[in-house]
């Protein structure tokens, strides 16, 4: 059900956010995925208490928009995700404050972390990305 949050969709559409310039990270969560399109902050997601944020990725530095408008990045790195909680979904966020994308449908989700670093490697085949402008 991967989807974009309403506030992010509006800000992308009105040029209020520039995908290639905004500071991005990926937030890893455990628990039953719950997408609320109207969420305007990561604090609202965390404060709901229905899922547990397990880890924040390093900054995502390599960003591009394909000619078809697909939002793409390089690898996303999480340092040392603790053992004990399965990762069930992700939220891509601007500076861990503004939720942009909800991701609960991806290869190998959910997965059990082994206590080591985790590298998410996007596979950008033709006309694919995190989302589309």
CB-CB contact of 9 with 69 (8 Å): no
Residue 70 belongs to domain spanning: 3-132
DSSP state of 59: P
Helix (H) or strand (E) holding 87: none
DSSP state of 44: H
Cα–Cα distance measured from residue 115 to residue 128, given in angstroms and rounded to the nearest whole number: 30
The pLDDT value given to residue 57: 96
Confidence of residue 126 (pLDDT cuts 50, 70, 90): low
Summarize pLDDT for 72-121 with one digit per residue, the tens.
898 999 998 989 999 999 999 998 899 999 999 888 889 999 999 999 88
The pLDDT value given to residue 13: 82
pTM over 0.95: no
β-bridge mates for residue 26, sequence order: 92
32 CB burial (10 A radius; 0-12, 13-18, 19+): exposed
- Of 20, 22, 95, 26, give the one whose Cα is nearest residue 64: 20
Distance of CA 55 to the CA centre of its chain: 12
CB-CB contact of 3 with 100 (8 Å): no
Give how many domains the chain has, as a whole number. 1
Distance of CA 92 to the CA centre of its chain: 2
């Amino acid at each position: 059900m991967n989807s974009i949050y309403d506030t992010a969709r509006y800000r992308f559409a009105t040029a209020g956010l520039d995908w290639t310039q905004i500071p991005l990270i990926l937030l890893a969560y455990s628990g039953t995925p719950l997408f609320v399109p109207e969420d305007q902050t990561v604090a609202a997601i965390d404060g709901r208490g229905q899922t547990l944020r397990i880890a924040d990725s390093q900054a995502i530095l390599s960003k591009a928009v394909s000619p078809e408008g697909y939002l793409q990045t390089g690898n996303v790195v999480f340092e040392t995700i603790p053992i004990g909680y399965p990762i069930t979904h992700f939220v891509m966020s601007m500076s861990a404050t503004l939720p942009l994308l909800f991701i609960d449908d991806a290869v190998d989700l959910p997965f059990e972390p082994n206590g080591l670093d985790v590298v998410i490697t996007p596979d950008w085949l033709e006309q694919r990305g995190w989302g589309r402008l």
